[in-house]
Amino acid sequence: MDRNFLLAFLLSTLAIFAYYTLFPPEEPPVQNEQQQVEAKAEGGDQTQVVNTTPVSEATALKPALQAESSVARKTVSVESNLYSAEIDSQNGTLTRFYLKNYKYATEPRFNITKFFFSLFSGDEEEEIPYDPDRLVNLAGDISDQNRIWEVFTDTDIYDVNFQVSADKLNVATLPEILELSTVLPNGLEQHKILTFYPDSYVIDMELKIINRTGEQKTLHPRINFGAGGEAISGEPLPQPKVAVTFVDEDFDKFDGDDVENNLAVNNSIWAGLADTYFITVIKPVDGSLFRGELTPLNSKLDGKEVVVPRLTYQDEPLRLANNQEYSRKFKIFAGPKVESLLDEFDYYLPQAMDLGWFEILARPLLALLRWFQSYVGNWGVAIILLTIVVRTAMFPLAFKSMTSMRKMSALSPKISSIREKYKGNKEKMNQEIMKFYSQNKVNPMGGCLPMLLQIPIFIALYQALLPAIELRHMPFMLFWSDLSAADYTLILPILMGATMFVQQSFTPTPTMDPTQAKIMKWMPVMMVLFFLSMPSGLVLYWVISNFISVGQQLVFNKVLPQPEVSEPVKGKGKQKQIEQQKKKGSKKK
């Protein structure tokens, strides 16, 4: 072997040895207790990755639990500034969740709409005694089929009693933790850790299932998150609760009919149950997405039987080896549909307010309404100011519509004569009418189009005011003590109908057939009947809007000159029409 090669090899070896002696490599970190263990679903080829924690005698998470039969059943009360909750140690379920800032109902008033409906339908509404201290309860429809926060680990259903870390929690200034622990009949340990925060409607839930049975166990993990809050009777527009999800940046809602045959929920950022004003939402926070199913549950609304969705979180079946732990973490929001609170919980959750097709218009209108209220301190006055701003912004459209309608009204006598002349030939009649419009430079759609462009704004306002919890039980003045309830005095609906009638009498109307004329004549009456059961805050908007319309119409009638009408010209009458216009111009001079 070449001596130089041998010398180079020895020097290289010494250099490498010296380097690793002086600069040893970092030791690999000791494996954390949280490991990912592959677990196969029973009877399936797919595998699921589950967070598990090996448990040994030296690092046992908990000492051996007592048998559940020796643990006394307790009711744990949780008091926060915002809510009062009760949790039953049997099955570890939520039995009460009262919102302290939201009354169940205001003092009942006579509702003429419901009276006449029950008179003609024969259905009598269930009367619920009025309790001024009763609060909104977001733990609704509780029964053996719906035990909220109940956890299942296998296909068997049984009652178990939990040990609780406290009998009462007062969540005043710092977060408080409640832990519920038990040994299930199958030998598995179940730990449910709940964290409550002061001045927040958010609750953290952590579920741990530990296998220390000495053998492998198969899990079918499920958590029942219930069917939302208790139905509130007497709301102006009662609607059964719906389920809400957010999958692939799409908001969806499902009613009782949608879940009649059970409905799977997969890969949702969050899922929950909502009514008009309140919502309960569950969001996984351990890096996973919500998956489970919606099932039908019998409920009642205003004394009538309805079907509402019930929400269950459900993992794939998995095998849990001895000394392993199954773990899932969730954040729960249970409270009012206040946009700022929803946005704080999740960026996409404000979509659960469900402002409809014209959300892009409804959301800024609602924000403007809140801004007005922050200055004037009265939601009714804020609605009036919002109405003035909206009608001012729509003034150019209204002006154009009124101008066109005035021209059309001036042409009505001539149009009537053309209709009479060609009443036996409809095609010829339409041709002559369109020719006459063209001669007078009038677009028959000119009056309708600006009005049609205003419709999305009206709908957006309706969708913004209807679910606005800020108006719930908020007074305006005098008799109107609740802007979210129907006006029991009927003053606002009648005012709305009267102002519509006055507006019709001042507004120039083009010639229309007798059927259309009758419909327009009775339109104020139909609108009054339609708005009898609407929230008074919404009716207030229409009343003020109608007053503004009447005022605008009076001004238009005084300011706008009476349009000139050209006589119908037959044949190639363009030159004749020009000559007529010239003669009229010379006479004026």
Letter string b/e over residues 536-567, b meaning 16 or more CB atoms within 10 A of that residue's CB = bbbbbbbbbbbbbbbebbeebeeeeeebebbe
Q: How many domains does the chain have?
A: 2
The pLDDT, as a whole number, for residue 22 is: 44
Report the distance separating Cα 474 and Cα 481, nearest Å: 6
One domain for residues 255 and 339: yes
The pLDDT, as a whole number, for residue 513 is: 58
The pLDDT, as a whole number, for residue 70 is: 63
Asked whether the predicted pLDDT for residue 89 surpasses 50, the reply is yes
Other beta carbons less than 10 A from residue 500's beta carbon: 21
Q: Which is more confident, 124 or 307?
A: 307
User: Model's pTM, two decimal places?
Assistant: 0.76
CATH number, domain of 155, equals 2.70.98.90
Q: Which of 1-10, 308-317, 353-362 has the weakest average pLDDT?
A: 1-10
CA-nearest of 375, 352, 377 to 363 is 352
% residues pLDDT > 70 (the chain): 70
Q: Which is more confident, 289 or 26?
A: 289
**Residue 276 neighbours by CB under 8 Å, 6+ apart:** 235, 237, 239, 466, 467
Residue given tokens 């500034």 in the structure block: 81
DSSP characters over 370-437: HHHHHHHS-HHHHHHHHHHHHHHHTHHHHHHHHHHHHHHHHHHHHHHHHHHHTTT-HHHHHHHHHHHH
One domain for residues 366 and 349: no
Q: Which of 101-105, 273-277, 432-436, 578-582 has the weakest average pLDDT?
A: 578-582
Tokens describing residue 252: 């969806």
Asked whether the predicted pLDDT for residue 566 surpasses 60, the reply is no
One domain for residues 350 and 405: no
Report the distance separating Cα 114 and Cα 142, nearest Å: 28
Report the distance separating Cα 74 and Cα 184, nearest Å: 18
Report the distance separating Cα 546 and Cα 69, nearest Å: 69
Mean pLDDT of 205-213: 90
One domain for residues 258 and 325: yes
Report the distance separating Cα 157 and Cα 33, nearest Å: 31
pLDDT bracket for residue 33 (50, 70, 90): very low
pLDDT bracket for residue 554 (50, 70, 90): confident
Report the distance separating Cα 194 and Cα 98, nearest Å: 17
Q: Is residue 23 part of a domain?
A: no
The pLDDT, as a whole number, for residue 495 is: 87
pLDDT bracket for residue 47 (50, 70, 90): very low
One domain for residues 122 and 196: yes
Report the distance separating Cα 124 and Cα 491, nearest Å: 26
Report the distance separating Cα 306 and Cα 495, nearest Å: 35
Indicate the residue among 314, 337, 354 that finishes a domain.
354
One domain for residues 340 and 373: no
The pLDDT, as a whole number, for residue 42 is: 38
Q: Is residue 54 part of a domain?
A: no
The widest CA-to-CA distance across the chain, in whole angstroms, is: 128
In tens, the pLDDT along 494-528 reads: 888 888 888 777 665 555 556 666 666 777 778 77
Tokens describing residue 497: 């109908």
Collapsing DSSP to helix, strand or coil, 100 comes out as strand
One domain for residues 442 and 535: yes
Report the distance separating Cα 343 and Cα 270, nearest Å: 13
Q: Is residue 17 part of a domain?
A: no
Report the distance separating Cα 88 and Cα 177, nearest Å: 16
Tokens describing residue 239: 């609607």
Collapsing DSSP to helix, strand or coil, 117 comes out as helix
Tokens describing residue 67: 């048998």
One domain for residues 347 and 376: no
One domain for residues 418 and 503: yes
Tokens describing residue 448: 């309708």
Range of the domain at 326: 68-354
Q: Is residue 41 part of a domain?
A: no
Asked whether the predicted pLDDT for residue 11 surpasses 80, the reply is no
One domain for residues 290 and 424: no
Q: Is residue 81 part of a domain?
A: yes
**Residue 77 neighbours by CB under 8 Å, 6+ apart:** 84, 85, 86, 167, 168, 169
Q: Which of 139-148, 438-447, 562-571 has the weakest average pLDDT?
A: 562-571
The pLDDT, as a whole number, for residue 32 is: 37
Q: Is residue 132 part of a domain?
A: yes
Other beta carbons less than 10 A from residue 420's beta carbon: 9
One domain for residues 468 and 524: yes
Indicate the residue among 323, 354, 385 that finishes a domain.
354
One domain for residues 332 and 400: no
Mean pLDDT of 85-98: 92
Report the distance separating Cα 243 and Cα 258, nearest Å: 10
Q: Is residue 12 part of a domain?
A: no
Q: Is residue 20 part of a domain?
A: no
% residues pLDDT > 90 (the chain): 21
Report the distance separating Cα 63 and Cα 67, nearest Å: 12
What amino acid is encoded at 326 in this protein? Y
Indicate the residue among 297, 320, 354 that finishes a domain.
354
Q: What contacts 24+ positions apart, CB below 8 Å, involve 170-179? A: 170/79, 171/78, 171/79, 171/80, 171/81, 171/196, 171/197, 171/198, 172/80, 172/81, 172/198, 173/198, 174/198, 176/78, 178/76, 178/78, 178/87
The pLDDT, as a whole number, for residue 573 is: 46
| Burial grade of 76 (CB within 10 A; 0-12, 13-18, 19 or more) | buried
Q: Note whether 228 and 138 are within 8 A (CB).
A: yes
Mean pLDDT of 191-220: 91
